[in-house]
Structure 1
Amino acid sequence: MWDPELVVGRPRGPLSEVIGKIAAMNVTPVTPPRPIDVVAVFPQLAPLARTATRLHPRPGAPTWHDSSIGGPLLWPAEEPWPHCEEPHVVDGINPARSPADLRLERRIFAASHGREMTPEERETLARIRPPQTYPVKVAVQPYEGPIAMLPVAQLYVRDVPDLSPPEGKDLLQVLWCPFDHPIMPRTLLFWRSAAAVTDVLDTPPEPPAVQFDGYLPDPCVLEPEQITEYPDHLELSEELRKQIEQWSVPQAAEEDLTPDTYYDLVLSNAPGWKVGGWAGWSSTDPSPQHCSECGTGMEILMTVATFEEGDDDANSWSPHPHPGAGPYPGHRGYNATGVQIGSGYRQHLFVCPAEPEHPHIELMT
């Protein structure tokens, strides 16, 4: 049993005060230490610890040779660019828009931040998003032909210690189709050796349209940081869950959280873009995932996130200083990548640990 008096390494004062002190000390983005050493209180969690690499994306101009979100890929010129051959449809309520128009819209929001928009800017925005007339037509509009996929992430093993590539590979590239399949983008994973790419494709094709704004990532450079995580409470035994919830009553009250959410929000696993670690569960319960080719239990490779901040009011997972401290101009708050999964969820990518190049699995949580 846990000892209610055993709270090792707990800083004094609310999390907001602790975070403020840590922010003043650090000069590079570092996740604040957890306010409680949860393994000292619950040793049962020790064998469940996993490392994760938080990517900490921030606006930038990455190159082929950088790890990035939404940046250019080190793609061989002789290798065909991937296209999605599945059906693509949109409705009249959410018309698809071209990548060029979405980027132009974002540039206008950024340039006009803190001032009135010019008549020309307003006219351009009205062209990109014409006012809807009512009643809204919901007719389905199909897009014929294959859709070029968009770069989502490029991760070099040298930068991301929690990547476990196939032998001889040192680079992971993630692309997706910017349409729902059926409730989130369909992704493709490519492992390759960077040294083998001698002639790079400098102008890859782009899709004619993007179904939702959040399916077009903005280019971001990364500030990778390795941390330790523990499972979501839904992946623990019922007995341990009850012990943690009972123990969390005073801790949760101090941070204005509920006992059934304190562990998940503050102590278990980090929000945001990351590689490895544990999945967070909110919109669905965890269920065993097995490789379709060999039956091996799948493990989480990467989390594509809508938000970098956690759901706790203290934002205890926010690194300090915040990478590319925002808010970012426009309407995206602190979401540097511009990505949105569903109504603000995460997309977890699971791979086969026995053979990473076996088909992967996508889950929205």
Structure 2
Amino acid sequence: MTRTTPPRPHDLLGLFPQLDAQARTAIRLHPRLGEPTVDTSSIGGPLRWPADEPWPVCGLEHEDLCDEPFPDPGERVPEALIPVAQLYYRDVPGLPWPDRFDLLQVLWCPRDHPEGEAPYNPEFLVRWRTARSVGATIESAPVPLVCNENYVPTRCVLHPEAITEYPHRDAQAPGWKALGHGGVWGIIDPFPVACDCGELQLPLLTAVSGEFDGGTGSWQPVEEADTGWEFADPVDVLIGRGYTLQLYYCPAAEDHPNRAVMF
């Protein structure tokens, strides 16, 4: 089912025409409960992961105050990462390096990391792939022994929608999305998200605590206008006290370190 963002309540470009030069495309992912497969884009779903490639584990220090046994069954592996997003380029136009890749996979460690890229948050791992190069795939992914359940996404299928964003609070879509603009600074002072090579990094994936809320109700899809709060938080991930965790990439090269910032 298509999900469509309503027209904006204000003519932002009419008020601030200089913003036109700063327009960026963002892909609202619109995750909804479902049964994704390795052949589909998803949040929290199974990954097209090569059978001959080791499943990644986290080697960072963890804060264990909120840890509890991982809720889903599976082969238990200490510090195993879990799937966060699988995005096929056919569903999410505009992802980086489409001449070389057609599949983006994002995993994270579902525990707090005192000295992680974004302290006291999950820690991301990114894989860029071509789907046809993945031969035999794993039958099932291992799961960690323990986790912070706030960081375990519910399996969701996606209904991607391309929108235009501007560097203004009211012109940035809430919810899980790819690309677009950086978040709205509020927890810490703004700073450039820069790569070690000196290149400014760009948003790749935005993980949030909910699809919309009372302050962002104008972004609720028109197809769900009469559903109240039913689709407000299908992924059921909580970042901090209801914040946003944004993953950045370096446009200079895919193997440069990724950055993460909580807003």
- Tell me whether the two structures share a fold, i.e. TM-score over 0.5: yes
Asked if 1 retains the 8 angstrom alpha-carbon contact of 2:78 and 2:145, the reply is no
Q: Number of aligned pairs? A: 254
The one of 241, 255, 259 aligned to 1:357: 255
| 1:180-218 residue CA offsets vs partner (Å, 9 max, x unmatched) | 1121000100000100111011111110111x2211111
| 1:65-97 residue CA offsets vs partner (Å, 9 max, x unmatched) | 000000000000000000012233413xx3422
Aligned to 1:299: 202
Aligned to 2:106: 174
The one of 39, 43, 51 aligned to 1:69: 43
Aligned to 2:90: 158
The one of 230, 237, 240 aligned to 1:339: 237
2:205 is paired with a residue whose SS is strand
| 1:275-323 residue CA offsets vs partner (Å, 9 max, x unmatched) | 111122232232112111x21111111101111104526x101112239
2: CA distance between counterparts of 1:334 and 1:33? 19
Residue 29 of structure 1 deviates from its aligned partner by: 1.4
Select the structure that is richer in helix. Answer: 1
Unaligned runs of 5+ in 2: 115-119
Unaligned runs of 5+ in 1: 1-26, 104-144, 233-263
Residue 167 of structure 1 deviates from its aligned partner by: 4.0
Residue 42 of structure 1 deviates from its aligned partner by: 1.4
2:150 paired with 1:214: yes
Please tell me the residue identity of whatever aligns with 1:171: L
Residue 229 of structure 1 deviates from its aligned partner by: 0.7
Please tell me the residue identity of whatever aligns with 1:213: E
Aligned to 1:229: 165
Aligned to 1:348: 246
1:153 is paired with a residue whose SS is strand
Aligned to 1:320: 222
**TM-score between the two structures when normalised by the length of structure 2:** 0.90
Aligned to 1:190: 127
The structure-2 alpha-carbon separation of the partners of 1:279 and 1:322, relative to structure 1 and needing over 3 Å to count, comes to: farther
Among all aligned residue pairs of Structure 1 and Structure 2, give the percentage whose two residues are the same amino acid.
46
| 1:326-359 residue CA offsets vs partner (Å, 9 max, x unmatched) | 756xxxx731111111111111111111113310
2: CA distance between counterparts of 1:203 and 1:29? 31
The one of 16, 36, 40 aligned to 1:42: 16
**TM-score between the two structures when normalised by the length of structure 1:** 0.66
